[in-house]
């Protein structure tokens, strides 16, 4: 237990000493809140021109999270840098020499980073919700409405899992450039295409980001997904567990 405590402290020191991690987390918050507020304000201005069908499916809670798709970019960068920075600098050899228990080393690093991502994710989600609802005016909702608190908490959990998934992928690939080169197109191109093309839509529904988005939705009218909010969240968790298992396997079997 003493060894684990020392490793946790060491990983906390590493993370907070790298300026880029602070900037990426701050950027995630600012982008998510600002873009969500902008989309909410535009939605309020154009609400009367929406079709009856769009008004029925209008989800004020999910609208306030409109910036999360872009804000998660910063959390992906955070997750990748936390794990792969030591590989790019060569410090991984010294770290593994100091902590030869590779499972302890990896999961202490991921555990500390996950707590940080969770704190930032929750603050971002609640702030995006309150600012977005203020922008929506008469079309807003409140935390007391059915499903809204679950969706807001789910937003924070979603951002956390995106970061952890990125950590697992980075642990497998061991290169920041390669990890970002795969994760960015995956979330911002491949997932979008698969989710919007009729022939591949059923496959896209089971990708981590699309499944995870369901936990942030309150209005589900017209939603054809074969699972509910927590079902989608569970699918995302499975993706994260698979990424972490892959990262641990690579670290255990390969030299630094």
Q: What is the pLDDT of residues 144-166, one digit of tens each?
A: 999 999 999 999 999 999 999 99
Contact in structure between 239 and 181 (CB atoms under 8 Å): no
Q: Residues with Cβ < 8 Å from 177, sequence gap 6 or more?
A: none
Q: Which domain holds residue 31?
A: 2-253
221 sits in which H/E element: none
Predicted structure pTM score: 0.93
Task: Look up residue 243 and give its two tokens.
Answer: 């990424």
CA distances from 63 to 99, 104, 131, 137, 199 (A): 45, 40, 11, 13, 27
- State the total domains in the chain: 1
pLDDT per residue as tens, the chain (256 positions): 667 888 888 888 888 877 777 889 999 999 999 999 999 999 999 888 888 888 888 999 999 999 998 999 999 999 999 998 888 777 888 877 787 788 888 899 999 999 999 999 999 999 999 999 999 999 999 999 999 999 999 999 999 999 999 999 999 998 999 999 999 999 988 888 888 888 888 888 999 999 999 999 998 876 778 899 999 999 999 999 999 999 999 988 876 5
pLDDT at 195: 82
**Largest alpha-carbon pair distance within the chain?**
64
- The phi and psi torsions of 166 (rounded to 5 degrees) equal -65, -35
The predicted structure's pLDDT at residue 28 = 95
Q: What φ, ψ does residue 239 adopt, rounded to 5°? A: -60, -45
d(CA 114, CA 133): 28
Please give the pLDDT value at position 50.
84
pLDDT given for residue 197 in this prediction: 85
Tell me how far apart the alpha carbons of residues 73 and 24 are, in angstroms, rounded to a whole number: 9
- Residue 53 has what pLDDT? 80
DSSP 171-203: HHH--HHHHHHHHHHIIIIIHHHHHHSGGGHHH
Residue 230 and residue 134: Cα distance in Å, rounded?
A: 27
C-alpha distances in angstroms, 194 versus 117, 148, 181, 203, 240? 28, 28, 18, 7, 20
Q: Which two tokens stand for residue 103?
A: 């499972």
């Amino acid at each position: 237990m003493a060894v684990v405590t020392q490793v946790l402290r060491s990983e906390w020191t590493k993370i907070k000493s790298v300026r880029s991690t602070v900037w990426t987390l701050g950027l995630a918050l600012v982008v998510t809140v600002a873009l969500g507020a902008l989309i909410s304000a535009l939605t309020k201005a154009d609400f009367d021109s929406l079709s009856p069908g769009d008004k029925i499916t209008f989800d004020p809670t999910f609208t306030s999270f409109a910036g999360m798709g872009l804000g998660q970019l910063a959390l992906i960068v955070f997750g990748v840098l936390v794990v792969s920075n030591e590989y790019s600098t060569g410090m991984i050899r010294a770290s593994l020499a100091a902590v030869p228990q590779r499972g302890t080393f990896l999961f202490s690093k991921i555990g500390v980073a996950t707590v940080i991502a969770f704190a930032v994710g929750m603050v971002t989600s609640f702030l995006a919700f309150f600012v977005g609802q203020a922008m929506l005016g008469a079309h807003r909702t409140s935390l007391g409405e059915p499903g809204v608190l679950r969706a807001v908490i789910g937003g924070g959990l979603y951002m956390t899992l995106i970061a952890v998934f990125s950590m697992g992928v980075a642990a497998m690939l061991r290169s920041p450039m390669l990890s970002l080169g795969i994760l960015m197109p995956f979330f911002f191109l491949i997932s979008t295409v698969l989710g919007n093309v009729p022939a591949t839509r059923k496959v896209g529904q089971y990708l981590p980001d699309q499944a995870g988005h369901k936990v942030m939705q309150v209005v589900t009218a017209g939603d054809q997904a074969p699972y509910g909010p927590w079902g989608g969240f569970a699918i995302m968790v499975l993706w994260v567990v698979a990424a972490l298992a892959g990262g641990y396997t690579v670290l255990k079997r390969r030299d630094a």
